[in-house]
Chain A
Amino acid sequence: GENVEQHPSTLSVQEGDSAVIKCTYSDSASNYFPWYKQELGKRPQLIIDIRSNVGEKKDQRIAVTLNKTAKHFSLHITETQPEDSAVYFCAAISNFGNEKLTFGTGTRLTIIP
């Protein structure tokens, strides 16, 4: 089955700097890659997603890039703000075979004011 690895597990960046979180996946059939943000005590919320037919997607300060050949995708947050502090999860799913969403282990991002 699918295996998603996420790095780093913790990340601290100065407010205003950029943060990058990377994920790799094992199933080459995976073709949908969402990113979720989970603040302390709250539910995971989708912040951005990308499908395999595009290499990059951007939404204001957040962008995701996908390299299908290397089987990795990354989340980029620019001009970080204190409210970006949270745990971020990447995930992957394939629409072939077992269509279950497999999550990475999460990255705890801390923005230092």
Chain B
Amino acid sequence: KAGVTQTPRYLIKTRGQQVTLSCSPISGHRSVSWYQQTPGQGLQFLFEYFSETQRNKGNFPGRFSGRQFSNSRSEMNVSTLELGDSALYLCASSRNPGISDTQYFGPGTRLTVL
């Protein structure tokens, strides 16, 4: 069974631009969560989607948004990029949300904001 995939793997943007990252979950998984990983802050939860609905949201500004499609694929968007948005963005999928099932991570998208 194929694992979680994320595209693109690397991205370089400049301040003020916007970016869209994509995540395809493991087949049969309906829950997708997004995390930001930085050396200083560790793994920070962004949001979780299940059945095309946002279930939970972390403490990030409104510039960070996401959505989920009917095939469970998810995208996250960051508008008006800031230097501090440079990070590894990881998505994780599970069959169901919450503690029901284990989350499996994708390889991440490394975003660099110049």
- B40-53 toward A: CB 8 Å interface, digit per residue (1/0)? 00111100100000
Chain A residues near B58 (CB, 8 Å)? 100
CB pair B99–A46 under 8 Å, yes or no, is: no
Within 8 A of B (CB), among A23-72: 31-32, 34, 36, 42-46, 49, 51
Q: Decide: A106 near B42, CB < 8 A? Known: A43-B107, A98-B56.
A: yes
Bound CA–CA A100/B33 (angstroms): 9
Among candidates A34, A42, A49, A105, residue contacting B42 with C-beta atoms closer than 8 Å: A105
Give the CA-CA distance A52 to B90 in the complex, in Å.
Answer: 27
CA distance A109 to B42 in the complex (A): 16
Q: Is the beta-carbon distance between B102 and A100 smaller than 8 angstroms? A: no
Q: Name the contact of B99 in the complex, choosing from A32, A36, A44, A45 (C-beta under 8 A).
A: A32
- The answer to whether A100 touches B99, judged by C-beta atoms less than 8 angstroms apart, is no
B residues in contact with A43, CB < 8 Å: 90, 105-108
Cβ contacts A65-107/B at 8 Å (1 or 0 each):
0000000000000000000000001000111001111111110
Determine the main DSSP class of A at the interface with B.
Answer: strand
Chain B residues with Cβ below 8 Å from A94 are 99
Cα of A73 to Cα of B7 in the assembled complex, Å: 35
CB distance from A18 to the nearest CB of B (A): 25
Q: Which residues of A contact B45 (CB under 8 A)?
A: 100-103
> Known interface pairs A51-B99, A95-B99. Does A104 touch B56 (Cβ–Cβ under 8 Å)?
no
A98 to B44, CA, bound (A): 15
What 1/0 mask marks residues of chain B from 48 to 75 whose CB sits below 8 Å from any chain A CB? 1000000110100000000000000000
Name the residue on B nearest A42 (C-beta).
Answer: B107
Supposing A45-B105, A49-B102 touch, asked if A100 and B56 sit within 8 A by C-beta, the answer is: yes
User: Which A residues contact B (CB, under 8 angstroms)?
Assistant: 31-32, 34, 36, 42-46, 49, 51, 89, 93-95, 98-106
